[in-house]
Amino acid sequence: MEIYFLGTNAGIPTVQRNVTSVVLRLLEERRSFWMFDCGEGTQHQILRSPLRLGKLEKLFITHLHGDHLFGLPGLLSSRGYQGGTAPLSVYGPPGLKAYLEISLSVSQSRIPYKLEVVEHEGGLLFEDEHFKVESALLEHRIDSYGYRVTEKDRPGSLNIELLKGYGLKPGPLYGVLKSGRDVTTEQGITIAAADVLSEPKRGRIVTVLGDTRPCGNSIPLAREADLLIHEATFAHELAKMAREYHHSTTVQAAEIAKEANARQLILTHFSSRYSSPEELGPLLDEARAIFPDTQLAEEFRLFPVERSRGN
């Protein structure tokens, strides 16, 4: 599980940075990746990355401002031309379906795969045996949503040496024990799963917050997250401007991470006024003064989602 940024700028692209798009790589877990937002030019960014559109499984739109979805029609069309045949689900606020229907029909774009568009107003959006995705409304000029991706706990590891001592060879009974159920061997020996199975591996949590002022729903979405991605459009000296434009500052993002007891914070969605690493450096310093485990998003850089210690 890794985070990969395709765009980190707010509002408009610059020479240095593209507009918003975040990827959650799940190549080991699902052999796919999920995307959060798809600003204009995202498919060009993908061409410069190791990603392949055919592996895109789910796409989540935080809100319907152009810098977060103008790249979507082109990306959906290109996915078909690039051999993408697997189904794709796109989630977002009401209005997303109409936007896509008009864009794709007027341009006569051909989508040769099953495209599911799910409009939502928060709540549980997806769940299977491995993951669940929840969403809640944030506070922006239009409806904007945050997303919380929870990886479910995985069974612990079997003590192979101990099982050999019982005379049990690899086979179907290993799977039964792995599921937490006791087994009885052909020799009549009962093996308790608890005796041969280590503690479950705690699932990881990734939270992606769309454009927002600090608000009540940010905390439960980010609670105990292993990785929180939060917008930091402005340095804190521009807190008044941030509030007027319904955005957050570096300090506010760090305060959310601290109150939610997140483990790591990555700041993104930077105003184009911060065009160089030297100008971004003070933003990082501001956040780290409150929440030390903070990093700045960088395009085309992988950020591993680490498990908690002991898991």
pLDDT in tens, 43-83: 999 999 999 999 999 999 999 999 999 999 999 999 988 88
Could you tell me how far CA 39 lies from the centroid of its own chain? 16
285 a catalytic residue = no
Encoded tokens for 262: 């997140």
CB of 218 within 8 A of CB of 228? Answer: no
User: Is the pLDDT confidence value at 188 over 90?
Assistant: no
CB of 67 within 8 A of CB of 10? Answer: yes
> Which range among 181-195, 209-223, 248-262 shows the weakest confidence by mean pLDDT?
181-195
pLDDT at 84: 86
226 is in an annotated binding site: no
Phi, psi of 121 (to 5 degrees): -130, 40
44 is in an annotated binding site: no
pLDDT at 269: 98
pLDDT tens figures, 148-161: 999 999 888 888 88
Q: Which domains does the chain have, with CATH numbers?
A: 2-154+201-304 (3.60.15.10), 160-196 (no CATH)
User: Is the pLDDT confidence value at 311 over 70?
Assistant: no
pLDDT at 175: 85
> Which range among 112-121, 255-264, 270-279 shows the weakest confidence by mean pLDDT?
270-279
Mean pLDDT, range 170-178, rounded to an integer: 87
User: Is the pLDDT confidence value at 273 over 90?
Assistant: yes
**CA pair distance 184, 190, nearest whole angstrom:** 4
211 is in an annotated binding site: yes
Question: Element (H or E) spanning 134, and its range?
Answer: strand 131-137
pLDDT at 82: 84
User: Is the pLDDT confidence value at 19 over 60?
Assistant: yes
130 is in an annotated binding site: no
User: Is the pLDDT confidence value at 308 over 80?
Assistant: no
pLDDT at 309: 52
128 is in an annotated binding site: no
Max CA pair span of the chain: 74
269 is in an annotated binding site: yes
User: Is the pLDDT confidence value at 238 over 90?
Assistant: yes
**CA pair distance 266, 294, nearest whole angstrom:** 6
Mean pLDDT, range 113-133, rounded to an integer: 97
Mean pLDDT, range 282-305, rounded to an integer: 97
User: Is the pLDDT confidence value at 201 over 90?
Assistant: no
pTM higher than the cut 0.85: yes
Mean of the per-residue pLDDT values for the chain?
A: 94
User: Is the pLDDT confidence value at 193 over 90?
Assistant: no
